[in-house]
Structure 1
Amino acid sequence: MTKIALPLLAALSLGACTSPGPDEVTVLTTVTETAAAAPQSEPEECANPDARIEDTALFTSSQTVPFHGTDLIGVPTDFSGFLFLFSPDNMRNNFDPCLPLSWAVLHGSNGDAERGPAGTGSSIADVVVFFHYDELITDPAPSEIRSIEDVTRLGDTTVQVIHGHAGRSTAEGVTEIYVVDHVWRDGRLVTEGPDAARYETVAAETVNLTP
């Protein structure tokens, strides 16, 4: 009986391997259908790929100020009666309407529409302005600082800026350096990094652009 039982068990085992039962077929079919129904993620489209920085509120909300044969752009500020005046020819333009975060660095001076730049050392400043696709980011407002030393893209939503602050007399120039990551997250621009808090304190006390 032992010799008969072993071939019978072997045959049953072979049959189980080569002829899957109905339950096994159903499981395989279910898995296939679930995989086919998985949603496909699509990248966010660039809504206005031909947009230029001149089409943004940085320019459209500002005024042209003639000065010594050239046209400066006068951006409104929260300092009563003053504009931030800069030349488009002296702008570091990294605007990209197809990225969630891009930027431009403005080199300029505070002044007014009648007399132009104030012409004093303390009135000279840099401003880094940020854009979300083709829109100028105004909250938080772009802040003046003595110098934008460098800007580096770390990713589509992260830009690292080295801010140079004149923390003492104007004649001393830059005395403090803040390395700050500016990040577009959850629908807003935030700052990160070990110097972020110190930078935020300075930004809150300086002149802001209000285009």
Structure 2
Amino acid sequence: MSSPETRARARLGHLLSEIASNAPAPASGSAAAAVVATAAALLQKVALRSPAWPEAAAAHSRAEALRLRAEELIELDSLAFLAFLEAVRSGGDVEAARRPTIDVPTEIARSAAEVVRLAHDLESKGNPNLRADATAAAILAEAAARTAEMLVRVNESAGPRAARVRAGGPGRAPGRSRDSGPPSRSRIAREGPSTRSADSRPASSRSRSASAGSPSTRRARRRGGSR
């Protein structure tokens, strides 16, 4: 029988494999929820190792609740987006299916904001030896909150075509080659301006110029002129 640690590693590995896959979900919403869960877990550690702080037990309980809910939101975000895609594909009630794709990342953002507030408490009141962990939790949660807020804006404005594009279906904009179109400033800086050099002149012009300007030719002309 596998240990809890082994099962936890298997769940994390499965989540990362699914995020890395070609499937439309889980994606950024689930990733943001996983980051919130990670940040909350860090705060549990800080609270457990802050026995001198009278509110450490309450902080630990709150961090645990936030972590467990964030773990649920990982799955809920994926299910919400897949249901929305199915409504788009089948011609179902797209607007009703869209609502959870807004509500779930909204909750992820709110949970992340609460993790940030709790992290600031633990930064200032918890074990000073673990202040860096509390700070890291705040940074992670802030990034997750920004991600979730961005997804809310995207999903509020997403139409059926945008959903198909995100799912990898018809409607994807054609790719553009890096070398197509006019060169960018950075490309010009790397490769230099595409002006013609002096060596691009016809060979006859180069030879005439070289012979006319060579020292031996000038000396021969001076000798010829003195005779």
Q: Do the structures match in fold with TM over 0.5? A: no
* Structure with larger Rg: 2
More strand by share: 1
TM-score when scaled to structure 1?
0.22
Greater RCO (CA < 8 Å, at least 6 residues apart):
2
More helix by share: 2
